[in-house]
Structure 1
Amino acid sequence: MRVVCAVVLIFEVIVIGLFIPVAISLEGMDPALAGGLWGGMAAAALVLAGLQKYRWAHYAAWVLQAAFLFSSFLVSGAMLIAVVFVSLWVTGVIMGRRTDQMKAAHLARARAEEEAEAENAVSASSGS
């Protein structure tokens, strides 16, 4: 799950960063405000992408998704892009959890088979 979430965050860095020139040119927003708002979110997304192995970073990325969604109200047309990326995030979390569960079940099954084989080898060698 964490790998998928990190990939979504990396793509978000690019998209969030592109909000800056759009907000300045189309909405007439102050460059300092646009750069601070979306530049800060892009930097946070980049840092959180690298820290997805930590539980707190995963939850912080959820907060970032909410901030991204709410800040998209400031730029016309940005809401659609924000909704797409938040949807990708939610889908990544859901599919990532399913994949993690399948990997864990496969690993448990493989360990059980190894233990059974080792047990059979021990009983076969002691029976000889």
Structure 2
Amino acid sequence: MRTLCASTLIGEFFVIGFAGLVAMKSDDLSMGTVWTVCGIAMLLSLLLCAVVTRPGGVQLGWAFQIALVAGGFVVPVMFFLGVLFGALWWASVHFGRKIDEAKARWAEPAGAEPPAEPQI
């Protein structure tokens, strides 16, 4: 799951950077404001890569997806991209867990008790 979720978050890192370039064209926002907000969001996307498998990591990822969609109020195309990345996040979590379960089943020796499921 970690690899799929981290890949989605790295993609969002670049999208946020490009959205910052688009937001700079707005007369209502200063360049400092745009890059402070975008820089913090880009940093958060990288930090989420590290904590995605820890308790509450997936929920923080969902909160980040909602914030990405809310970026559409500044850069309208972010409504579309936020929903697209939200779908990718769902797929990363859903299929990542299935892959992790399959790996665990394959790795356990014959006749051994299954390991306790991790709480995520």
For the aligned pair, the TM-score class normalised by the smaller chain equals: 0.7 to 0.9
> Can you list the C-alpha shifts for 1:93-122, whole angstroms capped at 9, x where unaligned?
1110111111122223xx016x7xxxxxxx
User: Aligned AA for 1:96?
Assistant: G
Share of identical aligned residues, percent?
28
- Which consecutive residues of structure 1, in runs of 5 or more, have no partner in the other structure? 116-128
Q: How far does residue 20 in structure 1 lie from its aligned partner after superposition?
A: 0.8
Q: Do 1:3 and 1:52's aligned partners in 2 also have CA atoms closer than 8 Å?
A: no
In proportion to residue count, which structure has more helix? 1
User: Aligned AA for 2:22?
Assistant: V
Give the root-mean-square deviation of aligned CA atoms: 1.8
Aligned to 1:67: 67
* Structure 1: 4+ residue segments shifted above 3 A: none
Higher-Rg member (1/2): 1
- Which consecutive residues of structure 2, in runs of 5 or more, have no partner in the other structure? 113-120
Report how many residues are paired: 111
Aligned to 1:47: 47
TM-score scaled to structure 1, two decimals?
A: 0.76
Aligned to 1:76: 76
TM-score scaled to structure 2, two decimals?
A: 0.80
